[in-house]
């Protein structure tokens, strides 16, 4: 309800605002600082793994690039979204695109390292990444479209945006759900990877809950404008969940290497880095189409929205 920046701020004003207390300041830093954490982890992995010639590491390479990209893009979106109504939309178009690419990175990584033993070489395993690409395009398209109906139908917009991210998350997580349920039924032995996957899923559900519920600010409007509102908590849960996901992926990658390499083919460059490049190009095309459509939408209000993205 308060703490908004001027809706026609300059780029310099936006940067300086990240060092002032507004209702976006914590949003900016809760994703900017984790970007450097993930970059540090990536740099450490670069010293111990051969990302250039070892094809088994290529899915991890794609994943690490994307978990560095999505928090940085989000931080930039929150920083520069107050330059104009059009800039606000475009900033969040790129934010949504980065998140959908992250979902594609999860599909590539899970398909390579986290697939249940019984599913390896199955139809789902063979088409897992292809479906991940389709989910990524669906996610970007639906979330960008949701901004076009936001002013007239805010509730519908929220539903569309939430569904856009739930669909790829649920699909990517199917292998994890199966592995966890198998352990609950006693047909597998607990592992460090499954523990980390469990923590990741827990924080993922918390992230979704906070995004959809707008707690705690809906219980005390105005009390959490600067610190403690749901979008800030949503950022923190998302990053912590990604940390546990990264640890689980690294554990699966190391502990299952011998079995996976002997029962399935090694990841190929087109199926990993090539898919990432294709996903980037297609998502940029979608963002370009929606950005070009902005002038043809009803004139946007220059006042700041009274809700978080």
235 annotated among ligand-binding-site residues: yes
241: CB partners within 8 A, 6+ apart: 199, 200, 201, 202, 203, 204, 206, 207
Q: Do 167 and 107 form a contact (C-beta atoms < 8 A)?
A: no
Residue 197 annotated as part of some ligand binding site: no
DSSP letter for 305, please: P
Q: Please name which of 130, 49, 117, 59 lies closest in space to residue 262, comparing C-alpha atoms.
A: 117
b or e along 277-297 (b: 16 or more beta carbons within 10 Å of the residue's beta carbon)?
eebbebbeebbeebeeeeeee
Q: Give me the count of residues in the chain.
A: 309
Helices (H), 84-191: 85-109, 123-146, 154-184
Task: Tell me which residue of 181, 62, 74 sits closest to 133, measured CA to CA.
Answer: 62
Q: Which residues contact 135 (CB under 8 A, 6 or more apart)?
A: 100, 103, 104, 107, 167, 168, 171, 172
Asked whether 32 and 58 are in contact (CB, 8 A), the reply is no
Q: Which two tokens stand for residue 141?
A: 């398209």
Cα gap 240→64, rounded to integer Å = 15
Question: First-to-last CA distance in the chain?
Answer: 14
* Contacts of residue 299, Cβ cutoff 8 Å, sequence gap at least 6: none
Q: Annotated binding site for Zn(2+): which residue ranges? A: 78, 231, 235
Residue set of the binding site: 78, 231, 235
């Amino acid at each position: 309800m308060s703490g908004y920046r001027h809706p026609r701020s300059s780029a310099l004003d936006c940067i300086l605002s990240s060092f002032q207390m507004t209702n976006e300041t914590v949003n900016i830093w809760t994703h900017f600082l984790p970007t450097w954490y993930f970059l540090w982890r990536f740099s450490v992995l670069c010293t111990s793994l051969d990302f250039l010639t070892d094809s088994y590491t290529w899915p991890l390479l794609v994943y690490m690039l994307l978990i560095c990209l999505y928090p940085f893009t989000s931080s930039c979106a929150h920083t520069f979204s107050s330059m104009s109504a059009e800039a606000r939309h475009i900033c969040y178009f790129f934010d949504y695109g980065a998140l959908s690419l992250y979902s594609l990175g999860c599909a590539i990584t899970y398909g390579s390292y986290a697939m249940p033993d019984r599913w390896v070489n199955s139809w789902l395993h063979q088409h897992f990444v292809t479906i991940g690409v389709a989910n990524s395009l669906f996610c970007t398209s639906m979330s960008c479209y949701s901004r076009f109906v936001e002013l007239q139908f805010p509730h519908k917009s929220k539903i569309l945006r939430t569904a856009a991210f739930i669909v790829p998350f649920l699909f990517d997580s199917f292998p994890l759900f199966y592995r966890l349920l198998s352990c609950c039924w006693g047909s597998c032995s607990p592992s460090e990877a499954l523990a980390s996957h469990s923590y990741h899923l827990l924080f993922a559900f918390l992230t979704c809950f906070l995004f959809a519920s707008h707690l705690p600010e809906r219980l005390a409007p105005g009390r959490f404008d600067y610190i403690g509102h749901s979008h800030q908590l949503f950022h923190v849960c998302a990053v912590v969940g990604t940390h546990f996901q990264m640890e689980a992926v690294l554990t699966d990658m190391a502990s299952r290497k011998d079995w996976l390499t002997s029962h399935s083919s090694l990841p190929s460059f087109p199926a990993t880095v090539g898919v990432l490049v294709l996903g980037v190009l297609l998502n940029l095309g979608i963002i370009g189409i929606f950005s070009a459509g902005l002038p043809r939408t009803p004139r946007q209000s220059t006042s700041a929205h009274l809700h978080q993205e």
